[in-house]
Amino acid sequence: MTDWQTRLRESGHRLTPQRELVLAAVETLGHATPDEIYAEVRTRSDAINLSTVYRTLELLDDLGLIRHAHLTDRAPTYHSATGHEHSHLVCRGCSRVISVGRSRMEHALADLAAEYGFDPDYGHLSVFGRCADCVGSTE
């Protein structure tokens, strides 16, 4: 049994094909909205609807198996919680998303976190601005 299956069972939830499909889609797509995840899941099975995808994403996020971040002003974007924890730099010009490892964000925010006694949720953090290409194209 895999780690995610164990975590589901230990939390009192059943292992379902739909949950497995949604988790696999998140891992395949990297960063994806619920609609993108739904489209990916539908390529593998038409036995799932959009509301099931939303409920499954919420459950998997609550269990820490996936993470979400707000990379646009629309729906959240989900990504796998396996691998390195990261934050996001999001370009308002071209929509490019740059993943920044936790240790770099901890270093960047260390003074603020210490000053305010604040423990940031780095995996949920998104910083909006303009990437070097978009800054350079407006000069």
Instruction: Give residue 107's pLDDT band: very low, low, confident or very high (50, 70, 90).
Output: very high
Asked if residue 91 and residue 55 are part of one domain, the reply reads no
User: Averaged over 130-138, what is the pLDDT?
Assistant: 86
* pLDDT attached to residue 14: 82
CATH of the domain at 106: 3.30.1490.190
45-91 confidence digits (pLDDT tens): 888 999 999 999 999 999 888 888 888 777 888 988 877 788 889 99
Q: What is the pLDDT of residues 29-46, one digit of tens each?
A: 988 999 999 999 998 888
Question: Distance between CA atoms of 117 and 22, rounded to whole angstroms?
Answer: 37
Task: Write down the pLDDT at residue 138.
Answer: 60
In the three-class reduction of DSSP (H, G, I as helix; E, B as strand; rest coil), residue 23 is classed as helix
Boundary (domain end) residue, out of 63, 80, 97: 80
For residue 16, pLDDT over 90 is answered with: no
Q: In this structure, what are the phi and psi dihedrals at residue 127, rounded to the nearest 5 degrees?
A: -115, 125
Closest by Cα among 101, 105, 43 to 32? 43
Confidence of residue 118 (pLDDT cuts 50, 70, 90): very high
* Domain edge (last residue) among 54, 80, 106: 80
Collapsed DSSP state (helix, strand, coil) of residue 40:
helix
Q: How many domains does the chain have?
A: 2
